[in-house]
Structure 1
Amino acid sequence: MKNLSKFVDELSIPPILKPRWKDAASSYYEVKMTDFKHSFHRELKDTTVWGYEGGYPGPTIEVESGEMVYIKWINDLPAKHLLPVDFTVHGAHKDVPEVRTVVHVHGACVEWESDGYPEAWFTKDFEKVGPYFRRQVYRYDNCQRACTLWYHDHTLGITRLNVYAGLAGFYLIRDQRERLLNLPSGVYEVPLMIQDKTFHQDGSLSYPKQPKKPVPELETSIVPEFFGNMLLVNGKVYPFLKVEPRKYRFRLLNAANSRFFRLKLDSGQRMYLIATERGFMQDPIGVHEILLSPAERAEVIIDFTNLEGKHIIMKNDAQAAFPAGEPVDEDTGTVMQFQVVLPLASVDTSVIPAFLMPVTLLNEQSSSRSRYLTLDDRMDSYGREWMLLDNKSWDAPISENPKLGSTEIWYLINLTKDSHPIHIHLIDFQVLDRRDFDVDRYKKEKTIHYTGPAHPPEPQERGWKDTVRADPKQVTRIIIKFGPFTGLYVWHCHMLEHEDYEMMRPFIVIR
C-alpha cells in the first residue's frame, strides 16, 4: 500500500519508563513484550505489532552514567510468529520454539551474560531457553559517558522479524558533563527513530514470504535485504512535529532492517552535529547532510530561530541497497516535517557549545595486533545470497579472541557490492580511514593492493562509535581497545537480513 497523505499525523514521543524501584546507586525495571494494535497512520487500519510495554517504539529507558541498572525482560508474546519464519536459517530450525526473544542494549558496556547473546533466547514465562541463557534479570553497569543507545531484539535467525514487528526502543545515558553543556533539553530534546515499512491493504505489516526468485522446495525463504516502500519516525508514517522558533536537540537513530538514510533539510540549512553513537564529539560540526547506516546514531542541533511560520521537510536520498541500488521516490525520500508554528514559550538560553568533550585519539602504535577480516557474498545450496564475515559461518570455531585491555586494528575488507554497517558488541572504537583496493586481485592472490590514498573518517564519524560503514571496494580500518569485561560477544553486519543469514560471528575477550 502506498500514497498515504503526508504530514497529517503528529510525531509521537515515547514515554520515559519509570523503574519499579530506585535507590542512590541502582534501579530495577521490568519490561514486558506483548502484541497489540498500533496506529501507524490515520489512513491505515490499526496494525498488530509487537512491542515493549505496549508501545511502538518501546518506552525510553533513561539512566545515569555509573548507575547499576537491573532489567527483567519478560516475553509475553503469542506462540505463533506475526511474520513468516524461514526454518532453513541458522538458529531458526523447527527444533526450537517459533517465537523467542533476547534483548540487546546496543552499545552497552555490559557483562556478556547480560549482553543479549543471540542464543541466550527465552520464550513466554521462560518456559524454554536457549543454550546460552544465563539469567532472567540483566545487569547494566553503564560504565560509559553520556550517549544515545537503543535496545532491540537479537534472537538468532529471527532478529529481522522481531525488530520489524516492533521490538525496539531508546536507551539514554546521562552524566553531569552533559548537563553543564546547556544543550536544548526537556521538550526541546527529541528522539527520532527512523524506519521503513510496507503495509498490506488491511493495514497489516507486509514482509516478503519469498525472494524475487522463489525456491520451490521452501515454504518461506529469507530475502537478501528488506526495503519498505514508506518511511516512519517513532512509529508514525510521515509525521509532523510542531516546534518553536528556537534550538532543538534531536537524537537520530536508523532502526531500519537494511535501508540507509542520508538525511538533509529541504530548507538547505545546516544541522549541528554534536555526538556520535557512543558520546559527544570534541567540537560541533555544521553539516548539510548526515548518512546513517542501520544502527548508527547521531545527535544534532537544529536551529529554528527566525523561521516562524516555515514548514521544513527532512528528506532522504540514500539508494537501496547502498551505495548503488534503487534511487528513492517521493515516498522513500520523505522522512518528516517540522512546523515552526508554536509561540516561543520563553527566551532560548540553550547553546551550541564551541567545545563539547575531549576525544583522545587511540594511537596506532599501541595496537598489539592487526586482523584482516573479509566481508563475503556467496550462494547457498538453494541459490540464495549468503553473506559471511571472514568467509566463516556462525558455527565455525571462534577466531577472534582479543585479550582484555589490548588494542587491535581491524581491517574490514569489503569484497561485496554493498556497504555494510559493522557493529561490535561491548566496546567502542574509532574509525581510522578507508582506502580503495583491487578486489579482483585480492580474490586471486589474497593480498591487498591499494589503488588510491586513504580517506579520513567522515564528519559524523569523528568520535567514539560502535557501528561503522564498510563500503564496497574499500578497506575500512578501525582501532579498538577491548574491555572492561571478558566473555563471549558477537560482531556482525547490522543489516538484519544479512545478520540473520549469516553475517555474524562470535568473539571472546580473554584474560
Structure 2
Amino acid sequence: MTRKLEKFVDMLPKMSVATPLKKDNHTAYYEVTMEEFTQKLHRDLEETKLWGYNRQFPGPLFDVKQGEPVDVKWINQLPDNHFLPVDHSIFHDGHDAEVRTVTHLHGMETEPDSDGYPEAWFTKDFQHVGPFFKREIYHYPNHQRGATLWYHDHAMGMTRLNVYAGLVGMYILRDKREESLKLPKGEYEIPLILLDRSFHDDGSLLYPNQPDNASENLPNPSIVPFFQGDTLLVNGKVWPYLEVEPRLYRFRLLNASNGRSYQLYLDSGQSFFQIGTDGGLLRKPVKLDRFTLEPAERADLLIDFSNYAGEEIILKNDLGPNPDPEDETFDVMKFKVSLPLSEEGTNNIPKRLSYIPSLKGNRITAHRNLKLTGTTDEYGRPLPLLNGKKWADPVTEKPGLGTTEIWSFINIMGFTHPIHLHLIQFQILDRRPFDLAHYNETGEIKYTGPARPPELNERGYKDTVAAHSGEVTRVIVRFAPYSGQYVWHCHVLEHEDYDMMRPYLIID
C-alpha cells in the first residue's frame, strides 16, 4: 500500500500539444516515440520510472480538426525487458517478446491496418512483429464528428502493464458544429485524464506479481483478475489542484484507469452540465449532480464557478455507504477559485448542442445475444469470457458492411463490465434486469422488471457501455465505414488481456 501522501500540493499539469513534423496534401505527419523515462508524480515522491509517448505521462495531446487526416508513426524505443511483472502463460501467438506494443486510437473510425489490432504488435525498431502486423505508419482519416478520443497501448496480453506503465494519451477531434456553439476554449477548456496507481516507498510503481492468496501452482508472475491502485492521479499528478477564475469552464474527462470506475460529484453541492460523451456532443446539455465514469468512458462537462470566488471545491469520488476507512480514493482533485476574472466570458449553457439521428429506423439484419461469463483455467484462475469463447476461437460475429445489428450483452457475472467495440460508435437502446440466481440455477432468463432507457447523459454516440450484473444491455450498431477484422472486449484491462476479448469481422 502506498504511504500516505498529502493531497492538493501539486498543480494540475497542462498536457503539451503534439506538433506534426510536416504537412502534405492536408495530411499532417507525426512521429511519436515510446521510451522509458522518469517523472515526478508528487512533491513527496521520488521520481517514478515510466513508459511514455514522447517521454511524457500522459502522452502529448493531439488537437486536430475534422476533415484533416493525420498519419502517425508509432516508434518503440523501449527496453528489451519490462519493469512490471509479465505473465508469459497468457500469450496466444507463440511469441514471448516481453516488450511488445501497438497503439489503438480509441473511438477512431479507421481501416483495420491502422486500428491497433492486438496481434499487430511490434518490438523495438520493429525487430519482431505480430502475425497481424501490416504497417509502420497509421492513418487516421478524422472524417467523423468531433469527439474526445484517446490513445493507448493495445498489445496482446500486455495492455494492462503497458497502460499502467504510462502509455496513454488524449486525442481531441474538433468540428464546425462544436466551434459554432461558443463553448469555453483555450485556457478555459481543460482535459482531465483520471488514473489510479499504487507506489512503493521509493516512488516506483507497484503492481502485483500474483493474485492475493495465490496457490503454489500458479505461474510467477501471474495475471491478477482485477486491480485498483490506492492513489488517484489526474494528468499524471497525484491529487492535484487547479486554480480557476469565477466563470464557466469546459472539462474533457477520460477514465484511463485499468479497472476503476468513478462516481463523481462536487463537494460544493453544485450541479454541472454534461454536453458530450464518447462519440461527441449530446443533443442537449444534461444537468447532473453526479455521474459514473467506467474505464474508457469520456464525459464532456461544463462547470460554472461564477458564484464561488475565493472558495475551494473538491471533485469527489463516491465510494458508497460503507467505504473502507483506509481508502483515500474519495478525493480526485481540488479546484481553487482564486484567480481574478481576466476577461468577460459567456456563462450561458447552449440549449441545443447537436443533431443525432436515431439508428432505430434502420433495417435490423441480426440480433445477437452475447453472454458475459467466465470459467477457470488449468491453474484455477478466473477466466472471464465473451459468449463462452476465447480469443483464439474462430470468429463468430460477422456483420455485413453498412448493416445494422442489435447486440444484447447478457451479464451473468457479479460485477459491471465496460464493453468496447472498435471502429464504430453505437447507441444504447435499454437495460433490463433479470433474476441472476434463477439463471444460475436453470440457465433461463427470467426478467424482474421492464426495460429502462439509457441515462440522459448516455443518449448520444458511445463506443463503451456499462453492462451491469444481472442485466441485459442492448446496443444498436451500424457497422461502417470500413470492412475487415476488428475487436470487441471488456475494457477492464486485466479482463481484456485474459481472455475477455474477441475478434469480429465486417464482411464487404
| Bin of the TM-score, shorter chain as denominator length | over 0.9
Q: In the TM superposition, what whole-angstrom CA distance separates every residue of 1:416-467 from its partner, at most 9, and x where no partner exists?
A: 0010000000000011110011234445555432111111111221100000
User: Could you tell me how far apart the structure 1 residues matched to 2:135 and 2:9 are?
Assistant: 44
Aligned to 1:145: 145
TM-score between both structures, scaled by the size of structure 2: 0.97
> Where do 1:16-55 residues align within 5 Å?
16-23=17-24, 25-55=26-56
Segment of structure 1 superposing worse, 233-242 or 309-318: 309-318
Aligned to 1:280: 281
Segment of structure 1 superposing worse, 357-366 or 410-419: 357-366
Residue type at the aligned position of 2:48: T
SS at match of 2:450: strand
Segment of structure 1 superposing worse, 63-72 or 406-415: 63-72
2:364 is the counterpart of 1:367: yes
User: Could you tell me how far apart the structure 2 residues matched to 1:441 and 1:291 are?
Assistant: 28
Are the structure 2 counterparts of residues 433 and 497 from structure 1 closer, same or farther at C-alpha, using a change threshold of 3 Å? same
SS at match of 1:423: strand
Aligned to 1:101: 101
User: Could you tell me how far apart the structure 2 residues matched to 1:420 and 1:208 are?
Assistant: 22
Aligned to 2:314: 313
Q: Are the equivalent residues in 2 in contact too, given 1:367–1:407 (CA < 8 A)?
A: yes
User: Could you tell me how far apart the structure 2 residues matched to 1:356 and 1:115 are?
Assistant: 29
2:234 is the counterpart of 1:233: yes
User: Could you tell me how far apart the structure 1 residues matched to 2:290 and 2:344 are?
Assistant: 28
Aligned to 2:425: 428
Are the structure 2 counterparts of residues 471 and 326 from structure 1 closer, same or farther at C-alpha, using a change threshold of 3 Å? farther
User: Could you tell me how far apart the structure 2 residues matched to 1:501 and 1:317 are?
Assistant: 29
Q: Are the equivalent residues in 2 in contact too, given 1:262–1:317 (CA < 8 A)?
A: yes
> Where do 1:255-404 residues align within 5 Å?
255-318=256-319, 331-349=328-346, 351-363=348-360, 366-404=363-401
2:453 is the counterpart of 1:456: yes
Q: In the TM superposition, what whole-angstrom CA distance separates every residue of 1:456-507 from its partner, at most 9, and x where no partner exists?
A: 1112211000000000000000000000000000000000000011100000
Aligned to 1:470: 467
Q: Are the equivalent residues in 2 in contact too, given 1:435–1:475 (CA < 8 A)?
A: yes
Q: In the TM superposition, what whole-angstrom CA distance separates every residue of 1:329-384 from its partner, at most 9, and x where no partner exists?
A: 55111100000001111001353211000112211662111000000121111111
User: Could you tell me how far apart the structure 1 residues matched to 2:367 and 2:28 are?
Assistant: 40
Q: Are the equivalent residues in 2 in contact too, given 1:276–1:463 (CA < 8 A)?
A: yes
Are the structure 2 counterparts of residues 327 and 509 from structure 1 closer, same or farther at C-alpha, using a change threshold of 3 Å? farther
Residue type at the aligned position of 2:92: G
Aligned to 1:15: 16
User: Could you tell me how far apart the structure 2 residues matched to 1:92 and 1:83 are?
Assistant: 21
Q: Are the equivalent residues in 1 in contact too, given 2:230–2:327 (CA < 8 A)?
A: no
Aligned to 1:438: 435
Q: In the TM superposition, what whole-angstrom CA distance separates every residue of 1:176-202 from its partner, at most 9, and x where no partner exists?
A: 111110000000000000011100011
**Could you tell me how far 1:21 is from its partner in structure 2?**
0.8
SS at match of 2:449: strand
SS at match of 1:58: coil
Aligned to 1:178: 178
Corresponding pairs, count: 506
SS at match of 1:489: strand
User: Could you tell me how far apart the structure 2 residues matched to 1:206 and 1:134 are?
Assistant: 34
Are the structure 2 counterparts of residues 431 and 23 from structure 1 closer, same or farther at C-alpha, using a change threshold of 3 Å? same
User: Could you tell me how far apart the structure 1 residues matched to 2:304 and 2:26 are?
Assistant: 36
**Could you tell me how far 1:143 is from its partner in structure 2?**
1.9
**Could you tell me how far 1:90 is from its partner in structure 2?**
3.0
Q: Are the equivalent residues in 2 in contact too, given 1:182–1:350 (CA < 8 A)?
A: no
Q: In the TM superposition, what whole-angstrom CA distance separates every residue of 1:73-103 from its partner, at most 9, and x where no partner exists?
A: 000000010200011113386x321101000
Are the structure 2 counterparts of residues 312 and 278 from structure 1 closer, same or farther at C-alpha, using a change threshold of 3 Å? same
Identity %: 52
User: Could you tell me how far apart the structure 2 residues matched to 1:228 and 1:273 are?
Assistant: 27
Q: In the TM superposition, what whole-angstrom CA distance separates every residue of 1:281-314 from its partner, at most 9, and x where no partner exists?
A: 0000110112010000010000000211110000
Are the structure 2 counterparts of residues 89 and 438 from structure 1 closer, same or farther at C-alpha, using a change threshold of 3 Å? same
SS at match of 1:454: coil
Residue type at the aligned position of 1:114: S
Aligned to 2:77: 76
Q: In the TM superposition, what whole-angstrom CA distance separates every residue of 1:219-261 from its partner, at most 9, and x where no partner exists?
A: 2111110011111100000000000010100000000000000
User: Could you tell me how far apart the structure 1 residues matched to 2:296 and 2:344 are?
Assistant: 35
Residue type at the aligned position of 1:177: R
User: Could you tell me how far apart the structure 1 residues matched to 2:459 and 2:248 are?
Assistant: 23
User: Could you tell me how far apart the structure 2 residues matched to 1:433 and 1:389 are?
Assistant: 20
User: Could you tell me how far apart the structure 2 residues matched to 1:96 and 1:330 are?
Assistant: 37
**Could you tell me how far 1:46 is from its partner in structure 2?**
0.4
User: Could you tell me how far apart the structure 2 residues matched to 1:394 and 1:215 are?
Assistant: 25
Are the structure 2 counterparts of residues 328 and 353 from structure 1 closer, same or farther at C-alpha, using a change threshold of 3 Å? farther
User: Could you tell me how far apart the structure 2 residues matched to 1:167 and 1:327 are?
Assistant: 30
Aligned to 1:164: 164
Unaligned stretches of 5+ in structure 2? Answer: none
Q: Are the equivalent residues in 2 in contact too, given 1:317–1:327 (CA < 8 A)?
A: no
2:152 is the counterpart of 1:155: no
User: Could you tell me how far apart the structure 2 residues matched to 1:17 and 1:385 are?
Assistant: 40
SS at match of 1:113: helix
Aligned to 1:507: 504
Residue type at the aligned position of 2:410: I
SS at match of 1:178: helix
SS at match of 1:161: helix
Give RMSD over aligned pairs: 1.5
Residue type at the aligned position of 1:263: L
User: Could you tell me how far apart the structure 2 residues matched to 1:101 and 1:36 are?
Assistant: 17
Are the structure 2 counterparts of residues 17 and 350 from structure 1 closer, same or farther at C-alpha, using a change threshold of 3 Å? farther
Aligned to 1:90: 91
Aligned to 1:223: 224
User: Could you tell me how far apart the structure 1 residues matched to 2:156 and 2:198 are?
Assistant: 24
User: Could you tell me how far apart the structure 2 residues matched to 1:73 and 1:329 are?
Assistant: 40
SS at match of 1:397: coil
User: Could you tell me how far apart the structure 1 residues matched to 2:319 and 2:372 are?
Assistant: 21
User: Could you tell me how far apart the structure 2 residues matched to 1:89 and 1:190 are?
Assistant: 38
